[in-house]
Amino acid sequence: MKKLSWFAFFLLFFASCLDDPDCYQLHNDFVGVTFRVMGTGKGDSVFVKNFTTDKFEHKPSFLYQINYFEEKGTFSFEAPQDKTNFLSFAYTVKNQFISEDCGSAFVLSGLHILGHDLDSARVINATPSKGSGTNIEIYRCPETDTMTIDFNQLYATSDGVIITNKTSRHVSHQFESITTDFSGIVFTGPGTTINLPVDTTKNETTFTFKTGETTNTLVVTYNLVTEQRYRPCGIQTFVNELAIKEHTFDSVSFGLNANDEPARTLEDPHIANLRVFDCPSTNLMQVNFISSDGAAKSVTIKSITADHVAGDLLEKPYTNTTVTLPVDLASSASTFYIKYANDTVDTLRVTYTNTGLQLYHACPDPVINGLVESPDVSNINVITNSTVLKFPPAPNVEITVN
């Protein structure tokens, strides 16, 4: 099946210039092309080369200047892997006298398509313009096997008693791999919104997501409908009645379609069918390092160990003015041993209250408040009014270093 996804356009531009500025742009020698997806008719965005910047850009439409010394032309489209498509067209050119100062203008009309190897194309306005509008619409067959997932971070504010300001934001994850149970690796790299294929030979697909040391799985089920909806596309298999069978993420819910209903049908252009949410961490304590005059001070730390964590919290020596440490949610106290580059060690012990308050129903980790430095050490201080652990972390403790 022919796909019109990414294009590098190689077009020959013919410019016309007259000395008198009043005679500028006498010729209607521009053809506008808009890209759409068959079925919905929604606009499509294609990847094209901007010859001015020599960079590729996503665009929903383009305006081409054609040669009024000819009566036909061809647009050539080059896609990745050396795949090319073409669209040939013809038009009528007449010479029309304008004035003694401006001379004659070329008037173009009767635009029509001679041939193409695209999925579908049609002329909607046979008269080229002087620089705006659409003359030709190019349609591609819809991708019917693509499910879209976006990734989000949950946020909320709490004083340890009430919860406010619940919200979420898109978040990018670095995926070592995303694999399916039918086609192996389908994605690697950073991603916030990712398109993934489902298996159209059966009614279920399992995805495995690897990010660092974390592995999550997602299993979806769906209904398949095989039929010919669009003649140029032949027989296609469409996916609807999407359902979440199981997952190991913090939370997964459906995105919404244009009718604000759960997006259980795979659409093209793609919309977010599923939304994955990460719970906010509630046990992160931020420690700031300061000098004796209270100014931020950069320190080099060789290691950080804790009674509740096996091994070193640092993978390598760390230099900064602040460090974030995870307190033990299974206890009401945590002790950290911070070893500096000069081999001196600060012992940071804090006690706190597990409130039992959950920021979200799907997020079991409780809000921590009542942070106290214990025992009292002269160079370590819990910051006033910062006794609740927040996400993103905010300064809770200051350590004065020489």
Mean pLDDT on 129-134: 93
Which residue range(s) make up the domain with 231?
146-278
Is the pLDDT at 263 greater than 90? The verdict is yes
pTM listed for this prediction: 0.83
- How many domains are there within the chain? 3
Is the pLDDT at 3 greater than 80? The verdict is no
104 and 165, same domain (yes or no): no
- CA 315 to chain centroid, in Å, comes to 30
| Cis check: omega of the bond before 269, within 30 degrees of 0 | yes
Give the count of beta carbons closer than 10 Å to the beta carbon of residue 303. Answer: 16
Mean pLDDT on 331-335: 97
For residue 6, the model assigns a pLDDT of 37
Average pLDDT, the chain: 90
Could you tell me the pLDDT band of residue 56, with boundaries at 50, 70 and 90?
A: low
Mark which of 140, 169, 195 sits at the end of a domain. 140
pLDDT in tens, 7-27: 333 333 333 333 445 666 788
pLDDT in tens, 166-222: 999 999 999 999 999 999 999 999 999 999 999 999 999 999 999 988 999 999 999
Residue 89 forms part of a structural domain: yes
Could you tell me the pLDDT band of residue 1, with boundaries at 50, 70 and 90?
A: very low
Residue 3 forms part of a structural domain: no
Residue 240 forms part of a structural domain: yes
pLDDT in tens, 210-262: 998 899 999 999 999 999 999 999 999 999 999 999 999 999 999 999 999 99
340 and 359, same domain (yes or no): yes
List Cα–Cα distances, 30 to 24, 63, 65, 93, 182, in angstroms. Answer: 14, 6, 4, 13, 47
Mark which of 140, 167, 186 sits at the end of a domain. 140
For residue 7, the model assigns a pLDDT of 39
94 and 51, same domain (yes or no): yes
344: helix, strand or coil: coil
171 and 93, same domain (yes or no): no
181 and 239, same domain (yes or no): yes
HSE-CB of 32 using CA atoms within 13 angstroms: 16
Residue 293 forms part of a structural domain: yes
291 and 362, same domain (yes or no): yes
**What is the share, in percent, of the chain residues with pLDDT greater than 70?**
91
Residue 1 forms part of a structural domain: no
389 and 299, same domain (yes or no): yes
249 and 301, same domain (yes or no): no
What's the start-to-end Cα distance of the chain, in Å?
A: 70
Residue 252 forms part of a structural domain: yes
| Cis check: omega of the bond before 80, within 30 degrees of 0 | no
219 and 121, same domain (yes or no): no
181 and 272, same domain (yes or no): yes
For residue 9, the model assigns a pLDDT of 38
pLDDT in tens, 343-367: 999 999 999 999 999 999 999 999 9
DSSP 387: -
For residue 319, the model assigns a pLDDT of 97
Residue 2 forms part of a structural domain: no
124 and 160, same domain (yes or no): no
For residue 104, the model assigns a pLDDT of 83
Mark which of 91, 125, 140 sits at the end of a domain. 140
167 and 265, same domain (yes or no): yes
Between CA 250 and CA 283 the distance in angstroms is 16
